[in-house]
Structure 1
Amino acid sequence: MAHTNAKLASCLALGLLLAGCNGGRESSPRETTTDQVFSAANQCFVLESGEGFVSADNDSALYTLSANADAAAAFYFKPARLGDYLLLSHYSRAQGERGNKSLLGISDPLGELLDDTGNFIGEVGYVVSAVGDILDFATDPLAPLGGPVRDLGEGLGGVGGQLGDQNVAPRLAMVDEASDLAVWTLTERAPGKVSLKNAVTGQTLAVANGQLGLTSAARAAEASEFRMIPTQGCDSYPEASLNATVLDKRGPAKYLNEVALFTQGPNASLIGDEDVYGFIDAHSHITAYEFIGGRVNYGDPFHKFGVDHALDNCAVNHGPQGLLGLVETVTSGHGQPAHQTRGWPDFPFWPRHNSLQHHQSYYRWIERAHLAGLKILVNHFTGNEVLCQLNPQKQNACDFEDNWRLQAQRIFEMQDYIDAQHGGPGQGWFRIVDTPADARRIIDEGKLAVVLGIEISKIFNCGEFLGMSECSVEEMTERLDAAYRVGIRHIFPIHKFDNAFGGVVPDEALGIGTVLYVGNLAETGHMLEFEECPENFVSDSANDENAPNPLGIIDQLLFQLEYVEGQVQQTPIPLPPLIPATEQGLCNVRGLTEIGHAFIDELMKRRMIIEVDHSSRKVIDRIFELAEVNGYPGLTSSHDWLNSEELLDRLVANGGNISRFVSAREQWVDRLNKVDQRPASQMVAGLPTTGMASDVNGIASLPGNSGEAGTPLYPFTSVDGRVQFEEQVTGDHVFNLYEGRGVAHYGLYPDQIADMQRYTSERSPEEIDRALRQFFSSAEAYLRMWERTEAWRPLE
């Protein structure tokens, strides 16, 4: 793209301030930095060396050098990682098409250096030999690359890297797709001057005798120095839109409007000027794209090559027509054995609220929710070893001691990636925290505080087989310490299967419940064993550490049949009952084991937050007893698995915290207001405690459709009035809450909140306002619980 000397001069007159002359990209406000290595993020530049300007020759698909500033190529600097960039000189896309790119990179003419996703799989030495050294070429143009390239070319059937008229040798060129060979590390060489090093070969972009090429890093000198001159008119790199406009000059809200929300009602005196106004998602799985072998969920929350790689085509995981997406077929309810796999740019099938094998928390979608008041996000590393072992397609370890570390690596990479988009380390809105003090500081800066947890069936490899623990207390504490050092603060002692610590609550979900019922047998060597739940359940704690209560074989058989029948009765075809159901339902006979007691003690010693969901009623009761005896407040039910208001009352009476699944309209208002009915003595420091539990990417549906197509919602403003939202657009798809997909992805939670406010016609304005007070005080309630847990000391 041509640019005039006058335009270049105007930018140079600004002293080469890299934050100037933006190419018009939509972005959320960010702090700037003077470090040009990071502040180049998502900005537009031309590159000038001492011999001219880097230009694009579309005919030859090469980048060349020109003395004419009007011929300079305008490069959009898209961060791939902190300090690493994709340099885009052209991007165009017709409706429904993936898009055409031109990037500075090294070519792969034979398609042998890169896999289908752009990752480098070749030999670095081969590429270095093929592209050669521009300084050698300048010194001896008759023998620029010596024997290596000639030998390579002859081996491919040509001479000098040619196959007929086609150059088959890798070379510095204009490439049409992002890949590792198109990633450049930016380094500041001198004030106002930088160098660009290829991330694969380590070679540096250089100029010699008016030609552009690469040289070894060891020989890089003045020939590899470039000035980055800010300009305008770049084609922006593809990205999902926020479709959110900050109306308040102070930027996105640090706190919500306390005057509008908290000057009236029962909680008016409980909120101070320094408290956090916003909500928590206490249960998410944004790293679950790496669980169960890494090929079950499709899609990434971020990708070094951009949104069109993060959310491309799920056939790579789910096969043609999605036929390998078995969980999708069984659980999503769309009634088809296959699904359309294409994502970017038009998303014909996924994401939708119940597309359970497709990632729904791309980082820009999370950012949109953050602008609506999301202040704290708890991300649980999750997985299931048995399901992983049964999965024929996998690329990751099934051993969760390995897999949680991979998920931890990914979420820190995500933090770095978001930092890179916003100008450098610490500049992004997504910040991982491990103390409540850090969380308050991050939120006060207008950013999202991210807390880490683990929800896994055989946590720390502490399973059980035929009642025998598969780990010792010493092994458990060593592995717990490793998790704590990484920053993990939430722990589920039990999840989905019985384990060494105790019994699991039976899962009643159709399909999933049946799979887990069989999986428990495979994992533990025994069936789930049931008893009728007591009407007012209080366990005999003296028996909790012992073996399960003996039951007659006939009684246990009837309980097993009742559970199986409960699964069958959920099918679309109604069947007559086979056996009478128990009055109080079925409970697991297993309580907290001896090593389970030790585990709870160790969690309390480290002041970690104990998740009681998924545990059997006996386990929960014993954990409550231990917390009550020790005055320990760090308990939570983060995603509606207690199924008992009595247990929830007891949890918050101990100082714990709860979160609930999001519903629609009247149902959500009622669910939020139910917590306000608890006595003040049963709240965290007098505050209601109900936040949000998305369970996003955890093989769980997001809220379904809550209104009719054509319902007038857009545009709407956030609760604090500081941010205006339009329909969210990713690629060509306009995501509307009423298009039939419900909350199709995480970025539509702001829409769900606005819909509840606007269309809850069967509840009074006072009831709606009270529900909002519960919801938007949940972040503060969580922080108070966490602070009390951090301050806890064992009773003498």
Structure 2
Amino acid sequence: MGRTVGGGVPRVVMIGVLASVLGACGSSSAPTGVPGDGPAGPQRQTIHNVANACWLLHSDAGYVTADATAADYGLSEDASQATSFYFKPSALGAYLLLSDYHREPGERGSKSLLGISDPVGEFLDTLGNFVGEVGYLIGGVGDITDIVLDPLGPGGGIVRPIGDEVGGIGDGLSGINVNPRLAMVDEASDLAVWNLVPATTDRFSLVSAITGQKLAASNGVLALTGVVTEGIYTDFDLVAAEGCDAYPEVGTQARLVDARGPAKYLREVPLFTQAPGAPAYDADDVFGYVDAHAHVTAYEFIGGRVNYGDPFHKFGIDHALDDCAVNHGPQGLLGIIETATSGFNPVHETRGWPDFPFWPRYDSLQHHQTYYKWIERAWLGGLRLLVNHYTGNELLCQLNPQKENDCDFEANWRLQAQRLREMQDYIDAQNGGPGEGWLRIVDNPADARAVIADGKVAVVQGIEISKVFNCGEFLGQPECSREQIVERLDAAYAAGVRHVFPVHKFDNAFGGVYPTESFGIGTILHVGNLAETGHLQEFEACPEHYEGPSTETQGGVNPLGIIDQLLYQVEYLNGQISSTAPLPPLLPPTETGLCNIRGLTELGRYFVEELMRRGMFIEVDHTSSKGIDRILEIAEANGYPGVISSHDWTYVESFLDRIVAGGGTIGRFAAQRDGWVDVLRRANARPARDRVADVVSTGVASDVNGIAHLPRNSSEPMPLYPFRSVDGRVEFDEQVTGDHVFNLYEGRGVAHYGLYPDQIADMQRYSADRSEAEIAEALRAMFSSAEAYLRQWEAVEAWRR
């Protein structure tokens, strides 16, 4: 059971770097990632840089040992008998300690963790969260001083048999002790989380995250204590060890093949700079793409039980992406969106980790697709900026019988913002401490550039909601005042929100919504609008210069969006009822070519001006054509460059021309193999105010987790793996999550966010009848989009000043 003990200076930094560079394509349990410049070398141990490495615990009372038979831990003077622990961060400075004894791998309940037992299930819920009373737990666990020290004897001694349980003398049920105690537990929980606290210059204390007691050693006994007493040792050395099995985690399956690290600037990419007639690049032009429309935190929207899965979890991947039955019911029967997108098959496989038999897939629209390691893989493939929109729908939340979150979006966007910060901290914890992770939340362009220059992805916050800041309207009367708008907008700005949709899905106090009759949900949107506003949507013939939807949207595909999918289910059910009962239609059939008669209201004009005054991005997608026209007029009259169409829901090409002519950017590339070159190159015909790398840049609009399809791709097997990133510096293999090997050709398409590098490589390699020059031009349009976004943001900041 012993492990070889390492000596000398702690090697955690070197272990992490070597594992990242050399082992990222191997086991999914190995620490993975591709560093940029990397740490300079071994460092003094801190509470953060011991993460994801193997250690022995040593105190003046001996080494910590494990007894698998008794599911217990003890002490030994013999280092060869010591058990090694893998330190898996659950948060900054907090750890799960996985010992080197293992049960059958691959299933929950197979771990061996240092923790506090819960024999009768009175302290933990089924997800491992602490739900008991701390005082009762401490009383049950007891204190090492109760069994080890003789208060009358010099130095102390054993005064009770070690067989008596700490804090549970004689308490039992049918001969089984039912008191909690320090023990080897088989699953992660709050009772297995330890805060690492500096004790001396080179020693640490391990403090239970729940009881606040310290791990204590004395006279062959390992237990817990609330007080530091002579003869009881709570200070531990972390001695470097080898041979630990890593805590279960997802691999990026990416390895650095260029020692300089992933490219930061366009001028560093041979594909762009060495081609004949290649344009000149500014020294600081950022290489990489922006995903201008994502929903990483949507697992908390619409009551928190619609989407299943988390982008991270304090207990690890097997809790973040476990089994969706907790949300979707047995066989997924409550996952109505999955039912519809799978051909109305009433069931779906709910199991996730470790084998993922059904989800994720490009159309598994109620399952989370941005686990943090998948985002990391996308970053390694060129993602440099990600705009995360907090989203939801109050009406649908109120109808959701499973909800566990507040339906008031003023509360819900704050919850989603909290989750985003927690994800940033969690990534930091995995990478050595605060600020050391590869992802940073930013609220200004200077910080975004600095983050990208440091080899990281910058995340910007936005809000996409039907009643933004609770500013709905009922029977034409606004449900908010100017004073409330200012107060709520100021709060969002202070929290770092920089993107706002004035209108989304329903008419509100700021203006009318764009009718989405082309998706076949017009009737139900009318009904939803009636419930929200007290009136039906009203239409008129569109003016001739509103020439209608573009056929280029999302590379020729119009995926259903976040609320559309949910509302589509209601319309489907309504259709089924109507087919069996002769009910009159709620509304006449929706016609094409109609525009909402409502444009921007007077309060909406005030709102737009307040967004401009703060230097915020004005998202015009989803707004009625009249409303967009008026927003652009206001921006143009003031020379404001902050208008954006982040996922191309304007449906009028001339609007997009006006956006880029005014200094704005657009995102419309989702994207499919067929036609992607034309989609990106066609943007060059637009009258843009600024061009990067001689192209009009176009960002990605994934809408990931927005209950929208990711690219499907061809299921025909193609020779792709391994492949290089566009900058040529990172090599990718098939992505492995648990036991499942993900690639583009298994019928799942872009099953999760980490397969965007694969999709880009597939499109680059298999673009039929396209020259290398045309492909390079299209790639420049995409991989200069981060720079274009930053320039727009800088122009907005300059306008504001």
Query: TM-score w.r.t. structure 1 length?
Result: 0.89
Instruction: Answer whether contact 2:697 2:780 (CA < 8 A) is retained.
Output: no
Provide runs of 4+ in structure 1 moved above 6 Å.
93-96, 147-150, 578-581
User: In 2 relative to 1, CA 605–777 (structure 1 residues): closer, same or farther, beyond 3 Å?
Assistant: same
Partner of 1:762: 769
| Per-residue deviation, 1:580 | 9.7
| Structure 2 SS opposite 1:483 | helix
Partner of 1:364: 373
| Per-residue deviation, 1:437 | 0.3
| Per-residue deviation, 1:15 | 2.8
User: In 2 relative to 1, CA 274–365 (structure 1 residues): closer, same or farther, beyond 3 Å?
Assistant: same
Distance 2:137 2:108 in 1: 28
| Structure 1 SS opposite 2:675 | helix
Provide, for residues 684-708 of structure 1, a one-character-per-residue CA deviation record: whole Å limited to 9, x for no partner. 7975130000000011110113341
User: In 2 relative to 1, CA 612–685 (structure 1 residues): closer, same or farther, beyond 3 Å?
Assistant: farther
Partner of 1:288: 298
| Structure 2 SS opposite 1:119 | coil
Instruction: Answer whether contact 2:468 2:503 (CA < 8 A) is retained.
Output: yes
Question: Which residue, 100, 104, 116 being the options, matches 2:110?
Answer: 100
| Structure 2 SS opposite 1:282 | strand
Question: Which residue, 656, 664, 674 being the options, matches 2:682?
Answer: 674
The residue type equivalent to 1:279 in the other structure is: Y
Alignment of 1:427-446 (within 5 A): 427-446=436-455
Question: Which residue, 25, 31, 34 being the options, matches 1:26?
Answer: 31
Partner of 1:67: 77
Provide, for residues 156-180 of structure 1, a one-character-per-residue CA deviation record: whole Å limited to 9, x for no partner. xxx7221123221100000000000
Q: Does 1:259 pair with 2:259?
A: no
| Per-residue deviation, 1:136 | 2.7
The residue type equivalent to 2:472 in the other structure is: G
Q: Does 1:736 pair with 2:738?
A: no
Partner of 1:324: 334
Partner of 1:643: 651
User: In 2 relative to 1, CA 421–446 (structure 1 residues): closer, same or farther, beyond 3 Å?
Assistant: same
Partner of 1:112: 122
User: In 2 relative to 1, CA 437–169 (structure 1 residues): closer, same or farther, beyond 3 Å?
Assistant: same
| Structure 2 SS opposite 1:346 | coil
The residue type equivalent to 1:660 in the other structure is: R
Distance 1:120 1:649 in 2: 55
| Structure 1 SS opposite 2:786 | helix
Alignment of 1:2-41 (within 5 A): 2-3=2-3, 7-8=4-5, 11-12=6-7, 14-19=8-13, 25-30=30-35, 31-32=38-39, 34-41=44-51
Decide which moves more: 507-516 or 177-186. 507-516
| Per-residue deviation, 1:20 | 5.0
Aligned residues: 745
Instruction: Answer whether contact 1:92 1:99 (CA < 8 A) is retained.
Output: no
Distance 1:169 1:516 in 2: 56
Instruction: Answer whether contact 1:684 1:785 (CA < 8 A) is retained.
Output: no
User: In 2 relative to 1, CA 581–494 (structure 1 residues): closer, same or farther, beyond 3 Å?
Assistant: closer
Distance 2:230 2:619 in 1: 55
Partner of 1:488: 497
Instruction: Answer whether contact 1:369 1:748 (CA < 8 A) is retained.
Output: yes
Question: Which residue, 137, 143, 166 being the options, matches 2:176?
Answer: 166
| Per-residue deviation, 1:537 | 3.8
Partner of 2:798: 791
Partner of 1:309: 319
| Per-residue deviation, 1:516 | 3.3
User: In 2 relative to 1, CA 91–469 (structure 1 residues): closer, same or farther, beyond 3 Å?
Assistant: farther
| Per-residue deviation, 1:21 | 5.6
Partner of 1:473: 482
| Structure 2 SS opposite 1:712 | coil
| Per-residue deviation, 1:761 | 1.2
Distance 1:514 1:741 in 2: 32
User: In 2 relative to 1, CA 133–98 (structure 1 residues): closer, same or farther, beyond 3 Å?
Assistant: closer
User: In 2 relative to 1, CA 135–180 (structure 1 residues): closer, same or farther, beyond 3 Å?
Assistant: same
Q: Does 1:46 pair with 2:56?
A: yes
Instruction: Answer whether contact 1:687 1:781 (CA < 8 A) is retained.
Output: no
| Per-residue deviation, 1:192 | 1.6
User: In 2 relative to 1, CA 614–580 (structure 1 residues): closer, same or farther, beyond 3 Å?
Assistant: closer
Distance 1:487 1:108 in 2: 41
Instruction: Answer whether contact 2:75 2:222 (CA < 8 A) is retained.
Output: yes
Query: TM-score w.r.t. structure 2 length?
Result: 0.89
| Structure 2 SS opposite 1:615 | coil
Distance 2:231 2:524 in 1: 63
Partner of 2:619: 611
The residue type equivalent to 1:736 in the other structure is: N
| Structure 2 SS opposite 1:348 | coil
Instruction: Answer whether contact 2:669 2:698 (CA < 8 A) is retained.
Output: no
User: In 2 relative to 1, CA 773–212 (structure 1 residues): closer, same or farther, beyond 3 Å?
Assistant: same
Instruction: Answer whether contact 2:141 2:180 (CA < 8 A) is retained.
Output: yes
Distance 1:432 1:731 in 2: 29
Q: Does 1:204 pair with 2:208?
A: no
| Per-residue deviation, 1:221 | 8.9
Question: Which residue, 372, 393, 396 being the options, matches 2:402?
Answer: 393
| Per-residue deviation, 1:267 | 7.2
| Per-residue deviation, 1:406 | 0.3
User: In 2 relative to 1, CA 221–693 (structure 1 residues): closer, same or farther, beyond 3 Å?
Assistant: farther
The residue type equivalent to 2:768 in the other structure is: S
Partner of 1:747: 754
Provide, for residues 590-617 of structure 1, a one-character-per-residue CA deviation record: whole Å limited to 9, x for no partner. 0111110110010000000100001000
Q: Does 1:133 pair with 2:133?
A: no
Distance 2:239 2:524 in 1: 59
Q: Does 1:274 pair with 2:284?
A: yes
Question: Which residue, 725, 731, 746 being the options, matches 1:724?
Answer: 731
Distance 2:55 2:145 in 1: 25
| Structure 2 SS opposite 1:38 | coil
Partner of 1:555: none
Provide, for residues 673-727 of structure 1, a one-character-per-residue CA deviation record: whole Å limited to 9, x for no partner. 111222454757975130000000011110113341x211111000111000000
| Per-residue deviation, 1:96 | 6.5
Distance 1:267 1:675 in 2: 18
Distance 2:401 2:48 in 1: 42
Instruction: Answer whether contact 2:699 2:785 (CA < 8 A) is retained.
Output: yes
Q: How much identity, in percent, do the aligned residues show?
A: 61
Partner of 1:412: 421
User: In 2 relative to 1, CA 786–466 (structure 1 residues): closer, same or farther, beyond 3 Å?
Assistant: same
The residue type equivalent to 2:33 in the other structure is: S
Distance 2:708 2:227 in 1: 50
Distance 2:521 2:778 in 1: 32
Provide, for residues 732-763 of structure 1, a one-character-per-residue CA deviation record: whole Å limited to 9, x for no partner. 11111010011000000000000001111132
Provide, for residues 327-357 of structure 1, a one-character-per-residue CA deviation record: whole Å limited to 9, x for no partner. 2223x24431121110001111111101111
Distance 1:396 1:317 in 2: 13
